[in-house]
Amino acid sequence: MNQGKTIFSQLMDFIPLYEFRKCVDRYNGNYRTRTFTCWDQFLCMAFAQLTYRESLRDIEACLRAMKDRLYHMGIRGKVSRNTLAVANEKRDWRIYADFAQTLINEARQLYAGDSFGVELSETVYALDSTTIDLCLSLFPWARFRKRKGAIKLHTLLDLRGSIPVFIRVSDGKVHDVNILDELIPEPGSIYIMDRGYIDYDRLFTLNQLHAIFIIRAKSNLKYERIYSREVDRSTGLICDQIIRLTGVRTSEKYPIQLRRIRYRDPETGKTLVFLTNDFDLSALLIPELYRCRWQIELFFRWIKQHLRIKSFYGTSLNAVKTQIWIAISVYVLVAILKKRLKIERDLYTILQILSITLFEKLPIQQALTSSGYAFQEGPDPNQLLLFDL
């Protein structure tokens, strides 16, 4: 790695610039732009995410303090608060959404062979959403309650590497189950969901497309047992049944058989009931897979704590989506960096190191893998000797 480059420039070298330009051209992002291009906008917003800047004025002050290095960081346009605000509000957010998908595809290939705790050849996804609260007076388009604003971040997470495959930003009133209409299921893949996604019509569509789902059942489930399989109760399994729905509407929406597994968690003592359309996986593997769904909760917690997606630099819908998609791009870019350089540190540690070393001129791998200096305590030259040697 060139030691003359800053760490920020070395990090941006992992970005496929040709693919970024294709996304910009697709939506005419640089139309009638003379100085501050989409690439300049992306670099400034990525810098803000990596260093956790508080506002546009904060971004402007920090970058102008390092104006002698901006050219070598790739930023050609003049950085100003107003220029960045206009770019976030006017330039199509789909530029950065499409580019994030390019990085996601690259990251998925890098993490395809990783394990997520369960040895399976199939691709396993977790589907869930998180709510981001907004001030209704500043974001009137994001009405959620009478006096509250919010948006939802619907995410489909590939459990191998915790890479988000599908992301949809919606207002807080959109119910989670509606996102199933926008997914394109992969035949043979496993989709793990919570009870909020129970809609038997949509689940039957997943089954018709040869996708496997694992979902928690509601307590008011009406069904009849066709037959039961033997289970080892010492493992926490209570029953493994083949059932048919008997509800007036549910039997019409899902007219074929389902598998019902009842499991008692030995750690918490809580009894969980799962429904799935897979009849071949072992009964104990179903709760094990559902336990892996916790990774998406950790993903939401991680990006909320370590990226700038809870407070925004602009108040328009376009500015909010732009910031979220650039934040996702930064997350995936750090994951790509970790894999390509074979760094053993976790993403949190990598992000913390990057936040204080972006303007340093040293190899990025050295900055991320150095274990520190070994201090050897020697004799104090000011200390008098007790005995002459």
Residues in contact with 35: Cβ distance below 8 Å, sequence separation at least 6, in sequence order = 76, 77, 78
| Cβ pair 277, 259 in contact under 8 A | yes
Answer yes or no: do 218 and 281 share one domain: yes
Place of tokens 């968690």: 265
Task: Indicate if 79 and 25 belong to the same structural domain.
Answer: yes
Q: Is there a single domain that holds both residue 43 and residue 80?
A: yes
275 and 342 in a common domain: no
Q: What is the mean pLDDT of each run of 10 residues along the chain (389 residues)?
A: 76 94 94 88 94 92 86 80 94 96 94 84 92 91 88 93 91 90 92 94 94 93 93 92 93 94 90 94 93 91 88 93 95 94 89 89 86 48 50
Domain match, 249 and 212 both: yes
**Which residues does residue 153 pair with via DSSP β-bridges, in sequence order?**
130, 169
Is 304 a member of any domain? no
Give yes or no: residues 271 and 335 share one domain: no
Cβ partners under 8 Å of residue 370, min gap 6? none
Q: Do residues 84 and 41 lie in contact, with contact meaning Cβ atoms separated by under 8 Å?
A: yes
Q: Which residue has the tokens 């204080």?
A: 356
Per the domain annotation, does 319 fall within a domain?
yes
Assigned domain for 81 exists: yes
Q: Would 260 be classed as within a structural domain?
A: yes
Domain that holds residue 208: 195-286
pLDDT of residue 374: 41
DSSP structural state of residue 115: -
My answer on whether 248 and 321 are in the same domain is: no
Decide which of 251, 286, 321 is a domain's last residue: 286
Strands (E), 219-333: 223-229, 237-245, 258-264, 271-276
Domain CATH code at residue 216: 3.30.1370
Same domain, 331 and 253: no
Is residue 323 domain-shared with residue 259, that is, in the same domain? no
Residues 57, 14 share a domain: yes
Give ∠ CA 202-203-205 in degrees, rounded to 5.
Answer: 65
Both 79 and 21 in a single domain?
A: yes
Residue 355 maps to a domain: yes
Is 22 among the domain residues? yes
Shared domain for 328 and 276, answered yes or no, is no
- 326 lies in some domain: yes
Question: In 3-state terms, what secondary structure has residue 96?
Answer: helix
Q: Which residues contact 31 (CB under 8 A, 6 or more apart)?
A: none
Residue 238 lies in a domain: yes
What is the tally of structural domains in the chain?
2
